Structure 1
C-alpha cells in the first residue's frame, strides 16, 4: 500500500445508502473507496463511538460485528461502483469469516474510529451478466496498523434467477413473512416476554435480544422482530445473514458468560457457512453442537452452532471467544 493512495481517502460523509443496500443513512459506515491496483482497493469507513445494537463492550471496545457489517458494505459497494454489477441484482451470502488479531486497537476513543480496509477482490463461479459470483478478502487497519482480517463470498443474480433460487428453496421470490414489531414472524402472537433478558445475551435493550429458551439443553429459538430498525433495516423476503450472525453471537455470549465465568470473554473469530435461505415465517432453531473449553489460559473457547428450520440445515458457524483478562469482572447479574 502506498501512502499517497491512502491519503486520497475521504472520511467526510457516508456514501449513498442505496450502494450498500441500506435504507437508513445512520447505518452506513463506508465513506470512500479508491483503487490501489487491479482488483485491489482501499475502503474507508468510520465507526460510531456508540450504537444502539452494536455498542461497545464493558471494556470499551468496538463491537466486532461492526467489522463484519463493514466488510459486507464494502463488497456491495465495490460490486456496484467498480464492477458495474446492476443495482437490481439480488445478493445472496455464501460464507464469511473474520478474526481480530489486535483487540487493543478496537478501543473506543474521544472521536469516532476512522478505519481502512485493504481489500482484494476475486470472481468466484462468475457467469455474467445474470450471475456474478464474488469474494473479498479484507485486512482491517486502524492508524495504518493491521488489527483484523475477514472475508465474504456472495452471489448476485438477476430477478429471474433469484426467483429460481427461491422456488428451489420452496418459497416464491418476493414472498415475505407476517411478523410484526412485537412478535415472532408467523407466530401470530406477542412473545416479547419469552425472550431471554438482554443482559444474559450481552445486549442493553430488551428488544435487541433475539434468543428464546425452548427448555432443552443446547437448543434455543431465534426470535424474529421484523420491526427492528437495525436488524431489519428494509423489507426482505428472508432472514439476512447479519440477523443469523447476531443470534449466533448472543448464544456464544450466553455460553461463555454464565456459570460463574472468572473473566469476561470477547468474540474474536467467526467462520460461517450459509447453506439455505432462512424463511421469515417458520421457527429457526439454534443448536449447539460443540463447546470446547480452552486448553490453556491464552487459548479461546470454541463454540460450534447450527441453524435449522423445518428440518433443513440453514447455516453453520464456529466461534472463538477469548478471555479478556484486562477487563473488570462484573458483579453477578450486572451488565
Structure 2
C-alpha cells in the first residue's frame, strides 16, 4: 500500500505479511492535513468533532498523523484564547483509534478499554496558537500484542507539533475486545443506557471553566470539594447516547472541572493531565467526584488530584498540574 495520505473510503486493512517493508518503502513523506477521516475510525458521530485529518506509516511501529484544532467549536474551544486541555486529550484519543482501525487491524465495531491517558502541554505555545491550527503527531507504538493480525493491546506515545514546535506530548494504553468478549465482560449491563429525566442542579459554569450550564458535569453536595457527576442529554463528551457506560472523555472533563472548582476563584490553567481508569462508570448509580490539592513535584506549580468513586470502588484517578499565577 502506498505511503501517501489515506482518505475516506480508500482504506483496506494491511495483512500481517504487509507489515514488513524495505528501507526505501519506509521513506517518510509529509503528513498533510485536509483529508477526510471516516467518523467510525475515531468513534465520533459528528464530522465537526473529528480532529485528525490523515495519517501515514513510517515503519512498523512509527506513524505520522495529521490533525487540526478548530478555531471555534461549541465544546472543544469555549475559550478562544487557548485550546483547552481536553482538546489535547481528545486528539490523542482519536489518533490512537485511527491507527488501531487503519493500521493495526482492529475492525470497526470492536471495543476499546482505555487504561490510562497522560499528556503535558507547552503552555506558552498553546497561548500563542490561533486556529484553525494544523498539527503533526509523531506516534510510536510499544507493548503491542497482536492476535491473528488484530491489535489486542498496546501503548501509543505521541508528540504533537504545530508550526514546527512541540505543543504537547502524551501517551495512552488501550486494550481491544471483540463484541462477543465485550458482551461477556459487561453482562447484563450491556443494555444499560442513561435514564432521561430532569438534571440535578449544576455548579455555576464560571467555577468549572465551562461555557454554559449545559457543559457543566458537576452537581454540588454539602462539601465544597465533593460533587456528583451530571451529564446532560446530548452533551458532546458523551459521544454516543447508545453507550452502555459513561465514556472516559466525560470523566476527563469532569476531573478538569472539579480541579477548576476546587481552586476557584483563582486561576487554574493546567498544563499536565494524567488519568488512570480502574473500572467503568455505570449509568444509574451516583458517581462521586472529589478533588484535593496535593504536593507538587515542581516549584511554582499547583497540583490537584481528582477521584471518581462509584459503589465504594475507584473509577478513575486524575492528576492535574498548573503553573502558579505570576505576581
TM range (shorter): 0.7 to 0.9
Alignment partners' CA distance in 1, 2:55 and 2:213: 36
Match of 2:140 among 111, 120, 126: 120
Residue correspondence of structure 1 range 1-335 to structure 2 within 5 A: 5=28, 7=30, 9-55=31-77, 57=79, 60-100=81-121, 102-107=122-127, 111-124=131-144, 126-127=146-147, 132-167=152-187, 171-173=188-190, 175-180=191-196, 183=197, 190-192=198-200, 194-228=201-235, 230-234=236-240, 235-258=242-265, 261=266, 264-288=267-291, 290-292=292-294, 299-325=300-326
Q: In the TM superposition, what is the alpha-carbon distance from 1:107 to its structure 2 partner?
A: 3.2
Alignment partners' CA distance in 2, 1:39 and 1:131: 12
1:303-335 Cα distance to aligned partner (Å, 9 max, x none): 112111111211111111223549xxxxxxxxx
Q: 1:13 to 1:257 in 2, by over 3 A?
A: farther
Q: 1:295 to 1:134 in 2, by over 3 A?
A: closer
Asked if structure 2 preserves the Cα contact closer than 8 Å seen for 1:131 and 1:157, the reply is: no
Q: In the TM superposition, what is the alpha-carbon distance from 1:225 to its structure 2 partner?
A: 2.2
RMSD of Structure 2 on Structure 1 (CA) = 2.3
Q: 1:70 to 1:196 in 2, by over 3 A?
A: same
Asked if structure 1 preserves the Cα contact closer than 8 Å seen for 2:78 and 2:210, the reply is: no
Alignment partners' CA distance in 2, 1:319 and 1:78: 27
After the TM superposition, which segments of 4 or more aligned residues of structure 1 sit over 4 Å from their partners?
Answer: 108-111, 124-131, 293-296
Alignment partners' CA distance in 2, 1:219 and 1:293: 19
1:121-176 Cα distance to aligned partner (Å, 9 max, x none): 12445555687112100011111211221111111101121112213xxx432x12
Q: In the TM superposition, what is the alpha-carbon distance from 1:73 to its structure 2 partner?
A: 0.6
Q: In the TM superposition, what is the alpha-carbon distance from 1:283 to its structure 2 partner?
A: 0.9
Alignment partners' CA distance in 1, 2:58 and 2:297: 42
Asked if structure 1 preserves the Cα contact closer than 8 Å seen for 2:100 and 2:151, the reply is: no
Structure-2-length-normalised TM-score: 0.85
Q: How many residues align?
A: 300
Asked if structure 1 preserves the Cα contact closer than 8 Å seen for 2:104 and 2:150, the reply is: no
Alignment partners' CA distance in 2, 1:84 and 1:73: 16
1:26-73 Cα distance to aligned partner (Å, 9 max, x none): 100111111122210111100001221222547x11112111101111
Q: Which residue of 2 aligns with 1:329?
A: none
Asked if structure 2 preserves the Cα contact closer than 8 Å seen for 1:20 and 1:76, the reply is: yes
